[in-house]
Structure 1
Amino acid sequence: MKVNLSFILLLILVNTSAYSSIVMTDDKLSIIVTPPADYNRKDTVHIVGNFNNWALSGNKSHQLRYVEGKLVADIPNNQQDIIFGFVRNSDWKSIPSRESGNALCLFLHQKNSTNHHIKIEIPAWKDDKPGKVATQTIVGNVKVLKDFAMPQLGRQTNISIYLPPSYKENNQQKYPVLYMLDGQNIFDDSTAYSDEWLVDESMERLASTGKLNEFIVVGIANGPRRWNEYNPWNYKSWDTQVEEIGEGDKTITFIRDSLKPFIDKNYRTKAENTSTGLAGSSLGGLMALYGAMEHSDVFGFIAAFSPSLAVENMAGNNVLFAALKNQKEMGRVKIYADMGKVEYGNYEKVEFLQQLLLESGVAEKNLKIVKDDLGRHCELDWSKRFPSAVGWLFKE
């Protein structure tokens, strides 16, 4: 069964000290895990990663064994950068987290490391009741609109609006706007699924140094049907293998017809498409690219962080690549996209994306593809690439 990396958002500190009862050879890595204090020995824990195609069963699976209060496993050291995580009781929703419930990013073992023992501590599991309350981490001028109506999707959502430092100082100035999907993750640890993006911290820092033209950021929190609402095309479900209906067009229509008019009416914005952007990660990155393809009259610039490039339809065709091959005119849109090498094991998919975008009419000067050799599929790494991404997008 194929596993989409959108479901695997884990981070933990990797400490390369040895566990004395494990004897290793050069072709093996020893994983020693300190489980949560309330660990139940009846639970199963598997280590999954690019070294075993994320397998939870079969001859490639690796279940950790209990040894003197630790969970241990030996995995192949195949001289590649290894990205890996843990799954409890074969449930992809049961992954490592902080005690606050924030999921942790994937672990990374670099191929040039001389350490063959990796010691890890798992504070808690994502599907357990949090033992602590996550701290609110908003900085700067961020307003939160609770229960904003989404008539196109028949539900409500929270909208977070970051206003730059000069917004209060100059009441005549108008600003570009960047709309960001998965908005609950971008400003605040207390609402984030995993680590927050530190967008507000980055914006404040960049504004203080004068290295960035200021702009407004609007975060749109996702909902319980994220896979449907963040897929522009019908797709094959990764777990049930049945066709699901993509409702991404409704999400974009909400931004275009409901949210953007509200923001333009109530805040000092530059409303034209050359001053309006759409950004997202994973499935949100897929949606941002869809915005460039079908709504370049609304969104003049796009940021797709680790866009999901493995979503397929029932015929087994990549939904994005199939749509791009039929794309006749992209419009004058500026696109930033990035990818971590360890996400897919190589850069073939993002390089093919680059080729298709150029063939669809995107000007080479308006396309920036960033390859991060150690980039993982999580907010922690996207936050590191955010400042340079917006620096390029908002460069006049």
Structure 2
Amino acid sequence: MPLQAAILTVEGFRASRLDNERRLFVYLPPGYEGETSRHYPVLYMHAGQRAFDPAAPGTESWRIHRAADRLIGEGLMEGIIIVAIAHVRPAEANEYYHFKAPAEEADVVRCAGLDYEDFVVNEVKPYIDARFRTLPDPANTGLLGSSAGGLCTYHMGFRHPDVFGKLMMLSPYFVKAQLDDSTPSGLREERLYRPCRGRPPVKVWMDIGDAEGLFLPRHVRDVAVELLGEGFRYGEDLAYLEQADAAHQETDWGDRVHIPLLFMFGRMGTPASLELRGRTEIGLTGGHRAQVNAVLGYDSGFVMSVLNGEYRVGDPSVLKALPDGTLIPLSPGTTTLTLTSGGLVATGVYTVVPALSDRVVVEMTADVPPEAAPPAAIYGGMGMRLAHAGGNRYAGRFRVPRDTGFRFRFTKGFRKFETDAAGGVMPNRTFRASEDISLHCEVARWEETPYRAAEGRDHDDSTI
């Protein structure tokens, strides 16, 4: 009979400086109970009520235990302990903000990140090390978070390399971006992270989906490139992935969490595939920033984007390519672009046109079920506010960065999402703004009760 993993729940774990309590969920790998002389690496995970199976039908979770079970079962990773720390967010504080809250929150939300950091470092970790058979040193201790939890992981990890040696950030909330036609770029961008300086002894994973709306890939890629400038070695102690068609949600993070697990705790294997993704037509003028997303795949299932590639341009008078995939147009024309990485070669054809704007127009309308008191607006993807246009119709016109991908459900308030006609979970609506586009949508129903956090006390919007 195969050995089984277990998930234990620790109730009412107190955070002294935060003056609150929450649950800890602890994954023990297959064989933990029987191999009593063995000690294990530990991964600490934020927003822990979403780590394992969903708390309620129709809600999302990572199901990270299934990824761990599979990697361990296939011999790609040794057993690890996963400590999922449930999130408690009182209305007046955010545990995942260390130094700065977005401007629209700053007047009402206190940054409680330093208190939460103290809780994890000085209360949770000592408890786990005392109760379970852990390998407590930094090289065997990881920290994992997504969105604002990824921002928290960045700050906490770089402040405590003596505690956490492995930092895993999925879709980290490094930059708050909002549509704003009053700015030259059409965006108002607010940096929320305090940059790391130097190269502490930590191993770093960062990723981002290319369908996360205004969570733009360049916000994360740029931080990875900053770290390379500080001396991090790409593919050894730093890796980055831009995941095609992935949205800003737990199911998508869970679908790829096996990749950073392999990088941090497993065996990456041997390079097996190399692909050039992204736009192949770029403008000489117009402000559009072109970057190749070169994806290197391994036989283990590990995958990363190439930020240290060797590019060769067939006609160097047309464009120049930097090692991180940035393309610099030089003159109109067409040329080949060849990348060598991991012992593999990939070639694409790229065209420089005279001009290509950095933004495109999205016009969106939505018809919704009639209501006695319709809301003033509904929301259709990050940054898209559709105003009431009379009757049951809402409309908006937006100028968004070219090639931005969106996967979303309409909402009319905090987690008051649309559902299908039967009241079930509505599949994500999907589009990519590669050119000007007009969209019309029909909302069948709104969910009757907004989602509540699994802790049953406070709203949990760790994904912002």
Which residue matches 2:206? 337
Query: How far does residue 169 in structure 1 lie from its aligned partner after superposition?
Result: 2.0
Bigger CA radius of gyration: 2
Give the Cα separation in 2 of the matches to 1:370 and 1:176: 24
Matched, 1:236 2:109: no
Letter of the 2:241 partner, please give it.
V
Distance 1:222 1:193 in 2: 19
SS in 2 for 1:142: strand
Structure 2 regions of 5+ residues with no counterpart? 178-187, 268-464
Label 1:140 to 1:237 Cα distance change in 2 as closer, same or farther (>3 A). Answer: farther
Map 1:196-207 to 2 at 5 A: 196-207=61-72
The one-letter amino acid paired with 1:395 is G
The structure with more helix, counted as a fraction of residues: 1
Matches of 2:49 and 2:246 in 1, distance apart? Answer: 22
Aligned to 1:353: 223
Quick one: distance in 1 between partners of 2:97 and 2:89? 14
Q: TM-score, normalised by structure 1?
A: 0.59
Could you tell me how far 1:210 is from its partner in structure 2? 1.3
The reply to whether residue 254 of structure 1 matches residue 119 of structure 2 is: yes
**Counterparts of 1:377-392 in structure 2 under 5 Å?**
377-392=248-263
* Paired AA for residue 197 in structure 2: K
Q: Where does residue 386 of structure 2 map in the other structure?
A: none
CA contact (8 A) 1:149 1:157 kept: yes
Deviations 1:249-282 (A, max 9, x none): 1111111100100100110000001100000111
CA drift of 1:202 comes to 1.7
Q: Residues 201-216 of structure 1: matches in 2 within 5 Å?
A: 201-216=66-81
1:186–1:219 contact (8 Å) kept in structure 2: yes
Q: How many angstroms apart in 2 are the aligned matches of 1:259 and 1:192? A: 29
* 2:241 is equivalent to residue 376 of structure 1: no
User: Are the aligned partners of 2:102 and 2:192 in contact in 1 as well (CA < 8 Å)?
Assistant: no
Q: Say if 2:49 and 2:85, in contact at 8 Å, map to a contact too.
A: yes
**Alpha-carbon separation, structure 1, partners of 2:44 and 2:11:** 17
- How far 1:192 moved relative to its partner? 9.0
Q: Secondary structure at the match of 1:187?
A: coil
Structure 1 range deviating more: 198-207 or 158-167: 198-207
SS at match of 2:204: strand
Question: What is the letter of the counterpart of residue 152 of structure 1?
Answer: R
Identity of paired residues, percent? 27
What are the ranges of 5 or more consecutive residues in structure 1 without an aligned counterpart?
1-138
More strand by share: 2
Counterpart of 1:276, as a letter, is T
Aligned residue number for residue 174 of structure 1: 39
| Residues 330-375 of structure 1 deviation map (CA, whole Å, 9 limit, x = unaligned) | 4111011110112246522122111222233433221110101201
Alignment of 1:1-396 (within 5 A): 140-190=5-55, 194-225=59-90, 228-238=94-104, 242=107, 244-311=109-176, 317-320=190-193, 323-324=194-195, 327-344=196-213, 346-364=216-234, 365-395=236-266
Opposite residue 237 of structure 2, the aligned amino acid is N
Shift of 1:190: 1.9
Q: Which of 299-308 and 199-208 deviates more?
A: 199-208
Aligned to 1:23: none
Cα distance between partner residues in 2 of 1:176 and 1:191: 30
Q: Which protein has greater RCO, CA pairs closer than 8 Å, 6+ apart?
A: 1
TM-score (norm 2): 0.51
Q: Aligned partners of 1:359 and 1:319: how far apart in 2?
A: 20
Asked if the contact 2:175–2:190 (Cα under 8 Å) also holds between the matched residues in 1, the reply is no
Counterpart Cα distance in 2 of 1:192 and 1:254: 31
1:318 is matched by which residue type in structure 2? R
Does the residue aligned with 1:306 lie in a helix, a strand or coil? strand
Q: Write the deviation string for residues 56-92 of structure 1: whole angstroms up to 9, x where unpaired.
A: xxxxxxxxxxxxxxxxxxxxxxxxxxxxxxxxxxxxx
Are residues 196 and 251 of structure 1, via their aligned partners in 2, closer, same or farther at CA, if it must alter by over 3 Å? Answer: same
1:186, 1:192 within 8 Å by CA — same for their partners in 2?
Answer: no
Report the Cα distance in structure 2 between the residues aligned to 1:221 and 1:248, rounded to whole angstroms. 15
Verify the 8 A CA contact 2:89 2:95 in the aligned structure 1. no
Where 1:270 maps in the other structure, the secondary structure is coil
* Alignment: residue pair count: 251
- Shift in CA distance, 184/348, structure 1 to aligned 2, threshold 3 Å: same
